[in-house]
Amino acid sequence: MIMTHPGLPAAWGLVVIGGMVILLLWAVITPLPGTAGAAVYSLARVPLLRGLVRQLLASPGILLGLKLLFVALFLLIIYAGLFGNPIPERNIATVLTWNIWWAGLIFSVFFLGTAWCAVCPWDTLAQWLVRRRLWKLAEPNNSLNLRVPRLLRTIWPALFMFIALTWLELGLGITTNPYATAAVSLLMVVMATSSLAIFERKAFCRYFCPVGRTVGFYSQLAPVELRPVDVQTCSDCKTLECYYGDNDTEPCPTWLVMGRLKQNSYCTSCGNCVRSCPHDNVAWRLRSPSVEAVQDARPRHDEAWFMIGLLALTGFHGLSMMPFWEGWMSDLARILKDSGQLLVSFTLGMFGSMAAVVLVYTLFVLLTRRLVGKTVPFWRQFATLAFVALPLAFAYHLAHNLNHLIREGAGLTAVLENPLGTGLAPLSMMEKHARHFDMLISQQTLFAIQAGLMVFGFWIAVQIVRHRGRVLLADSGQTGGWRLLPMLGFVVLMTGFHLWLLSQPMIMRM
Amino acid sequence: MKNLVQFVIACCLLLVMAPLSAHHVLGRPAYSLNEDSNTPPSMQMETQIGDYFVTYMVYPAFPRAGEPGRINLYASRVDGGEPFSGEVTFRVRDDAWFGGGEPEVLGVQAPDDNVFRQGFVFSNDGDYIIRAEFQADGEPYQLDFPLRIGQPSPVGPITVAVVVLLLVLIGANLYQRKRLQRDRIRAAHKDECSNSAGEGGAS
């Protein structure tokens, strides 16, 4: 038998559809927006909060304490995975990694942007092993400091790593294997350390890390950003400590210059710029969650593919947890004469579903191009409109992960009491069902949040189409928002697909 | 009141689901416990090959060397669910990276209540591949599945990680020292040249 979580009820689906219709009508009726400066509110101006945020970033103690905590948990995961009980629901390695961290990580982006990267244990361990310092600048930094080959200086490696991680997670099923979870954790540390020992700065974080880049791109939709307090001060700055570092602080790990920073995508929230700025000119600020994806972020070809890849992979995560996916795999396995873990069928299904999203997106870009005009090259239109994938992927990712977090997170207390699961048998059906009902919030609240997230994603996606579309129309010498209708159609189609996925029963992870 | 309603629903579900076994995903192992006994858990996996759905169970879930274990296999047609009634040959081979060796026949089993039962005792811990072979509709079917005897070595991944890290860190360190030495020699050469040029100019 397969145990499943119930899907979003039809009533909530209708609420989402109602919201979509209203927003769509608004988008069609109202004229396209002009360029307007977005409102931001610097936390550096809030008297009490300023001190707290500043202390958090500038004081080595707090950040180091958090890093130590996460490294300790990470080492516990590796130890428990290798030496503990192989039953997934009894071992902290699988429960903490996949049910809590992997599902909850996306929520940290929603509130704190790229804060996870600041305490990431992969990078912390790599830093300690290579720099041989717990904190502060290491001189020499014990790295070969080679430049990353030009071919790899894109976000393609991170996309391939994310695809590989998805395959390991959903195809090979490492989510239910504590030993494999520990082995992959070790592999990530080896890769981060090797990259830090060979390449300059933190090339792993910037180009290779699938988690960091996913967090980074989703952070375009976060309500917080690390930016200059006064832009003019940065313009007048000749020393660029934020980029080069100073006597005590390492340079920006991902080659960012604060004065020119327009997007969160590559910021790791490490706080080096805050500590090194001699003018005390870098601070966190609050903003509209849509402003970066809507207008600030610069379209780039490789980044566009990453964003479309995110959309395809988040949809695929949901698809592969639907009971009917089993039927599809079974039919495909019959044709291919596949057996065992059905990995050939799974791999084909995964790449097929990813290709479908890319093809559908390309088709809608081509349709838009017919109406907007062919003055602007196709690849520029492809890259510019790709931002629309971000809120669609993010909203569905949050809504989907909420199911895991709320319905499967109940086992955490039990594994914290016995992290290795020593002497424990698998959960009985009675215990599984008891956990199933032991939700952190009520089911109706969960459905309401999921519905709200779908409308939120749709709303931002519509805004992106209107803002980015206006730029394309202006470049083509065209007017008339109706020319963007195909892209709005894409937003409706993908939101509809995600809504349908959410309304299906979902297979429990463990 | 809400908790009571949830409890009643849970009890109703349990009544319906109690006779059923573990939470299954096609091609993934699942561990289950017989709730009516104190026996160790079993490992089950559902998969398919050609026109047959195959369920196999390994008991105990984590067999050890020198201790008897059992494989139960059940095969039924994808269309119609008719159980397979021929004979199944079970073979085993070592899945070691080096020198796996030839497969050995564990036994040929006829169905017992539609289930093919194969006992085993392994003398050594390790990774093995069990192959279940049968003929149906004139076609040969071969299904391989892994069987772990004893706990996997926790030292393996740690050793590999430590060795790779040491190689990278020591390699980078040696290379950097060499580079620094080279730079120092170059700088010394430069100083020497500029000094000799200065002396030459002065004379």
pLDDT over 90, % of chain B: 41
Each residue's pLDDT tens digit, A418-440: 999 998 888 877 787 777 777 88
Per-residue confidence (pLDDT) for residue B36, from 0 to 100? 54
Do B10 and A433 make contact, defined as CB atoms within 8 angstroms?
yes
Q: Which of A173, A187, A429 sits opposite B18 (nearest CB)?
A: A429
Contact call for residues A381 and A369 (beta carbons, < 8 A) = yes
Q: Considering only alpha carbons, which residue of chain A is nearest residue B23?
A: A2
Distance in angstroms (rounded) separating the CA atoms of residues A503 and A358: 23
For A198-208, what is the mean pLDDT? 96
Q: Which residue reads 């020591």 in tokens?
A: B170
pLDDT cut 90: percent of chain A above it: 71
Name the token pair of A120. Answer: 């990431």
Residues 146-185 of A with CB under 8 A from B: 173, 176, 179, 182-183
Q: What is the pLDDT of residues A80-106, one digit of tens each?
A: 999 999 999 999 999 999 989 999 999
Q: Which residue of A has its CA nearest to B155?
A: A82
Is the pLDDT at A493 greater than 90? The verdict is yes
Mutation choice for A interface testing from B45, B168, B170 by most A CBs within 10 A: B168
Report the gap between the CA of B189 and the closest CA in chain A (Å).
Answer: 23
pLDDT score of A391 more than 70: yes
Q: CA–CA distance from A3 to each of A89, B2, B23 (Å)?
A: 14, 23, 6
Q: Looking at per-residue confidence, does A42 or B7 come out higher?
A: A42
A-contacting residues in B 35-94 (Cβ below 8 Å):
35, 40-41, 47-51, 53-54, 61-62, 78
3-state class (DSSP) for residue A434: helix
Position B10 pLDDT exceeds 70: no
Q: Sorting pLDDT into bands at 50, 70 and 90, what band is A388?
A: very high
Question: For residue A42, is pLDDT > 70?
Answer: yes
Which residue type, as a one-letter code, is found at position A396? Y
Pick the range with the lowest mean pLDDT from A2-6, A46-50, A496-500. A46-50
Q: Does residue A63 carry a pLDDT above 80?
A: yes
Q: Is the pLDDT of residue A187 over 90?
A: yes
Total residue count of chain A as it appears in this document: 510
pLDDT number for residue A487? 96
**Is B175 an interface residue toward A (CB < 8 Å)?**
yes
For A448-490, what is each residue's pLDDT tens digit?
Answer: 999 999 999 999 999 999 999 999 999 988 888 899 999 999 9
Q: Cα–chain-centroid distance for residue A15?
A: 26
Q: What is the rounded average pLDDT of the residues A178-182? A: 95
Q: Which of residues 54-93 of A touch B (CB under 8 A)?
A: 82-83, 86-87
- Greater pLDDT, B200 or A487: A487
Predicted local confidence at residue A1, as pLDDT:
60
The verdict on a CB contact (< 8 Å) between A340 and B35 is no
CA triple A370-A495-A450, angle to 5 deg: 160
- DSSP-derived secondary structure for A215-238: HHHHGGG-SEEEEES-HHHHHH-S
How far the first Cα of chain B sits from its last, in Å, is: 106
Mark yes or no for CB contact A342/B143 under 8 Å.
no
Instruction: Give yes or no for residue A153 having a pLDDT over 80.
Output: yes
Q: Which residues of B touch A193 (CB under 8 A)?
A: 165, 168-169
B140 to chain A: closest CA residue: A337
Q: Is A358 exposed, middle or buried (0-12, 13-18, 19+ CB in 10 A)?
A: middle
Predicted local distance difference test score (pLDDT) of residue B18: 35
Query: What pLDDT is attached to residue B79?
Result: 87
A chain contacts of residue B172, beta-carbon cutoff 8 Å: 130, 142-144, 197-198
If one compares B97 and B41, the residue with the highest pLDDT of the two is: B41
pLDDT digits (tens, 9 = 90+) for A246-273: 998 999 999 999 999 999 999 999 989 9
Q: What value of ipTM does the predicted structure carry? A: 0.85
What pLDDT shows up at residue B115? 94
Calculate the average pLDDT of chain A: 92
Hunting for tokens 């926790």 — which residue is that?
B154
pLDDT at A179 over 90: yes
Chain B closest-CA separation from residue A194 CA (Å)? 6
Specify which residues B126 forms β-bridges with: B149
pLDDT category at A510 given cuts 50, 70, 90 is low
